[in-house]
Amino acid sequence: MVTDTSQLVDADIITSSLDDPEKFATLFDRYAAMLYRYISFRLGSELTEDLVGETFLIAFRRRGSYDVSYLDARPWLLGIATKLIIRHRRAEVSRYRALRRQAPVQAVDGPEEAITRVLAAQGSRPVLLQALSRLPRGDRDVLLLIAWSDMTYQETARALNIPVGTVKSRLNRARRMVREAMGGINPLKEHTNG
């Protein structure tokens, strides 16, 4: 029986947690900070701790049905978190509107903070936040998973349980809408994400 799960891939940790539930904590150690950043950017810090905990609780309860052919559990966890965020959509849109009215906050290292820092320097932050609040939910989910969680098209498709083609079309539409709102400037680095 494996006692140290720190070197195992996520699928093996989930499998071993079926016999020893405490091993599931390794996934929390690996991904709680990532989920915290993702959820807090989308909804603010008020709900973040609760939703991170709820994400892991749902994942723990569903670990028996996890498809172990996927070695990386990030898309699965981000998919659960995104579905929880959808329940709090009004709070997310309100947060973007409130942030648009505020002065830029001090940036902290991380991908989403780096984007915010660049946008604040350009004075584009309010426009971007307004554009994000106006995106259709599905388009916003895809854009944020790819741009701020560094997910691939395939991982995003798996997280949202949609086809890869849908991910690509939603991302294209979201980027176009953000670019239009920004006056033709795309602050979210367009990268191909295979």
CATH classification for the domain delimited by 102-194, as one of 3.30.70.100, 3.30.70.260, 3.40.225.10, 1.10.10.10:
1.10.10.10
Q: 7-87, which class in CATH? A: mainly alpha
**What does the pLDDT profile of the chain (194 residues) look like in tens digits?**
446 777 899 999 999 999 999 999 999 999 999 999 999 888 778 789 999 999 999 999 999 999 999 999 999 999 999 999 888 776 667 777 777 776 555 444 455 555 555 555 556 667 777 888 888 989 999 998 998 788 899 999 999 999 999 999 999 999 998 888 877 765 555 444 45
- Within the chain, all domains assigned CATH 1.10.10.10 are found at 102-194
First to last CA, the chain: 36
- Within the chain, all domains assigned CATH 1.10.1740.10 are found at 7-87
Burial class (CB in 10 A: 0-12, 13-18, 19+), 70: middle
Q: How far is CA 154 from each of CA 115, 138, 148, 165, 169, rounded to the nearest angstrom? A: 23, 16, 15, 10, 13
Q: How far is CA 91 from each of CA 45, 81, 193, rounded to the nearest angstrom? A: 11, 15, 29
Q: What is the rounded distance in angstroms from the CA atom of residue 9 to the CA atom of residue 27?
A: 10
Under 8 Å between Cβ of 142 and 184: no
Q: How far is CA 47 from each of CA 21, 35, 37, 123, rounded to the nearest angstrom? A: 26, 12, 12, 28
The pTM is what? 0.66
**Burial annotation 84-110 (CB, 10 A radius, 16+ → b, else e):** bbeebeeebbebbeebbeeeeeeeeee
